[in-house]
Amino acid sequence: MGVTFKVYNDFLIVNLKGELDHHMARMVSEKLDEYLMRQSFKKILFNFKQVNFMDSSGVGMLIGRYKALQKIGGKVGAINVGKQVARIFEISGLFNIIPCFNDEIEASEKM
Amino acid sequence: MEVLNEMTIDFWSKSQNEAFARVVVAAFASQLNPTLDELADIKTAVSEAVTNCIIHGYENETGIIRIKSILRENEIEIWVQDWGKGIEDIEKARQPLWTSKPELDRSGMGFTIMENFMDRVEVESSPGKGTIVKMYKTIKNKK
Ligand SMILES: Nc1ncnc2c1ncn2[C@@H]1O[C@H](COP(=O)(O)OP(=O)(O)OP(=O)(O)O)[C@@H](O)[C@H]1O
Ligand SMILES: [Mg+2]
């Protein structure tokens, strides 16, 4: 379980690794807050490549980020979303507010 | 329907145990030979119920969470129980997007996800006494 950050153009890519439940979501939120304190970004991209499980705690975390960025005119996106995670995106309506792309290249073109 | 197997586990309401609970129930459910999708559904529903015990039932204090599961011919039954705060209005709690803790980045989708991933979800609760969520799923993959 872990999170690493990568800057790509004007994007902050948040590479998630593990099962995005309440336990992990809390850790990710803390680390992300720490990172954003040092440098702010208007575009955040969550990379789900190494996430094969997410529950409503992940949904809450993503909506929280979406709202925070909306306030400053920013955007949140997701890449490499797998099957189980996609079902959660669908049921919770996340697909309507958080655009999903194949990779950061497509995201940087369209977001 | 004949009961094939049954198990009960008690564990502390620590967030590390969310993953533990998912894995235990999935391993038990494997005896019914479910598909990977069915297993993913079960793990997701268990995760929601256990997380609710930790965040809402015990509000991050230490308490005991009990999971009981029963296997039948082609069905799994899972109970997730806490002895915490309880729910005042169950009908309202089950509605999509309703949460009593919006300040904590909760989306109010837990029950909706359980209902989507399982065939049937029953909730019994009384304020000050605790909550039991009972979930049922048919396992179709019988060769
Ligand atoms: N075990 C429980 N003990 C006490 N209250 C509970 C319990 N489970 C659920 N609730 C109540 O029901 C509400 C709805 O639960 P639900 O899981 O649908 O949403 P949530 O937990 O608030 O948000 P999310 O699951 O999306 O993170 C909760 O906000 C809480 O008030
Ligand atoms: Mg919940």
SS3 for chain A, per residue? CEEEEEEECCEEEEEEEEEECHHHHHHHHHHHHHHHHHCCCCEEEEEEEEEEEECHHHHHHHHHHHHHHHHCCCEEEEECCCHHHHHHHHHHCHHHCCCEECCHHHHHHHC
Contacts of B107 in chain A (CB under 8 A): 56, 59-60, 63, 92
Alpha carbon A56 to its chain centroid, in Å, reads: 14
- For residue B111, pLDDT over 60 is answered with yes
User: In this predicted structure, what is the pLDDT of residue A48?
Assistant: 98
State mean pLDDT over B76-84. 98
**Sequential DSSP letters for B80-134:** EEE-SS--S-HHHHHSTT--S-GGGT--S-HHHHHHHHSSEEEEEEETTTEEEEE
B129 in contact with ligand 1, CB cutoff 6 A: no
Average pLDDT over residues B54-73: 97
Q: Residue A92's pLDDT is what?
A: 95
Distance from the B44 Cα atom to the nearest Cα atom in chain A, whole angstroms:
6
3-state secondary structure of B64: strand
Q: Does A89 score more than 90 pLDDT?
A: yes
Put simply, the answer to whether B107 touches A56 (Cβ < 8 Å) is: yes
Interval between CA A10 and ligand 1 midpoint (Å): 37
pTM (two decimals): 0.96
Neighbours of A27 (CB within 10 A): 15
Q: Is B29 helix (H, G, I), strand (E, B) or coil?
A: helix
Is A23 in contact with B19 (Cβ distance < 8 A)?
A: yes
Find all residues with CB under 8 Å of B14, minimum gap 6, and list them. B54, B62
What's the whole-number mean pLDDT along residues A5-17? 97
In this prediction, residues B1-6 reach a mean pLDDT of 94
Across the interface, whether the CB atoms of A23 and B104 are under 8 A apart is answered no
Q: Which of B35, B21, B34 is nearest to B78 (CA)?
A: B21
Q: What is the pLDDT of residue A49?
A: 97
- CA nearest to B116 within chain A: A91
Confidence band, pLDDT 50/70/90 cuts, at residue B143: low
pLDDT digits (tens, 9 = 90+) for B6-39: 999 999 999 999 999 999 999 999 999 999 999 9
Task: Supply the DSSP symbol for B77.
Answer: E
Residues in chain B closer than 8 A to A59 (CB atoms): 107, 109
Distance A11 CA to ligand 1 centre (A): 34
